A and B are shown apart, each in its own frame.
Chain A
Amino acid sequence: MTTRLITPELEAHLEGLPGMYATTASPDRVPEVTRVLSARAEPGNDVLRVVVAGDSSTRFLECARAHPRAALVGVVVSTYRTYQFKGRVVGVEDATPEDVAAVDAYTAGFGELVKHVGIDPVRYLPTIAVPPDVVLRLGVDAIFDQTPRVGAGALVSRAEEAAR
């Protein structure tokens, strides 16, 4: 029996509207970071669907195709709870209508969050509204707790441990 790395607690973290970024790296080890528009686990496995805007993620996606390792970090701004998901790029594909709907839901929820820090979402959201057209499928094989504190970066779980 295989145990999933992305536990219900971590799924809840992703659904808690964290601010998210992802990175890839070229074969000669030059990293490229980009903003993530939404990320959610595929049902029943440890693959994350990471939605990005293709026009501002050109090199990020080139790296993903040439050197298939990637990482995603997400922080819930109200609690600073932070996790990093690392793994293998198992695909780069066009966003589906479900992915676009996930981005719309995430953006609307994030707009509610920013209200609490004095930002008008009606004026703010258009500045981050970019076409969510590309999905990087990230096969997660390690998860780290990066909540800011002494000892940040501790391993939460790794694939071979989950498969015991």
Chain B
Amino acid sequence: MTTRFDHIPAAMRPAMQGIIPTCMSTCDLEGEPNVTYISQVWYVDEKHLAISCQFFNKTTKNVRENPPASILTTCPETYAVWRVNARYVESRLEGPLYEEMADHLAVIASMAGMQDVFRLLSADVYAVDEVELLHPGDPALTVGA
């Protein structure tokens, strides 16, 4: 049975570390869905998250035309799986959020050996409409255990 929230619960925040890639889908104005991997989902506050915008141009175009997005992320410690339904709000090109995400993206890029590929264009902020816990995972698990 799926558990639902109208905000980002504390238990979901470990799934926003960027260790296991997150998946995101959008839809264009003609009704064509698009799905892609994203490097980073960032906690902003209980009702907002941010996505790193690097080079996924179709996603960028879609959400500016049609804001709804569906995001699926996995906790690297317990493997709990969360789905977030959200709406694009704005893109930040500077400021503390942008700087924090750029720094964290550099770490992810280094781990993946993609320093030359991962460059933050903007921190795209989304308003959270609904969060579903699709799978509770196993709280006894930790990576590398």
Q: Which residues of A contact B (CB under 8 A)?
A: 19, 21-25, 27, 29-35, 55-56, 67, 69-73, 75, 80, 82, 84, 86, 118-120, 123-124, 126-128, 130, 146, 148-150, 152-153
Contact = CB atoms under 8 A, between A and B. Distances in A.
B43 interface: no
B57 A146 contact: no
Contacts of B69: 31
Nearest to A146: B36
A113 B143 CA distance: 14
A148 B113 CA distance: 11
Contact of A29 (B66, B71, B78, B117): B66
A56 B81 CA distance: 10
A37 B143 CA distance: 22
B145 A120 contact: yes
A80 B112 contact: yes
B38 to A, nearest CB: 10
Contacts of A82: 37
Q: Sorted from nearest, which 6 A-B pairs have the closest CB atoms?
A: A23-B25, A25-B27, A21-B23, A31-B25, A33-B25, A23-B35
Contacts of A127: 78-80, 135, 137-138, 141
Interface residues of B, number: 45
A29 B138 contact: no
Nearest to A142: B32
B5 interface: no
24 contacts: A21-B23, A21-B35, A25-B33, A27-B31, A29-B27, A29-B31, A31-B26, A31-B33, A31-B68, A31-B69, A33-B25, A33-B70, A33-B72, A35-B81, A56-B134, A69-B31, A71-B33, A71-B34, A75-B21, A86-B33, A126-B138, A152-B55, A153-B55, A153-B57
B117 A73 contact: no
Contacts of B10: none
B144 interface: yes
Contact of A33 (B29, B35, B56, B138): B35
Given A120-B145, A127-B141, A33 B37 contact: no
Given A21-B25, A153-B55, 5 more contacts: A24-B33, A30-B27, A33-B83, A35-B72, A118-B143
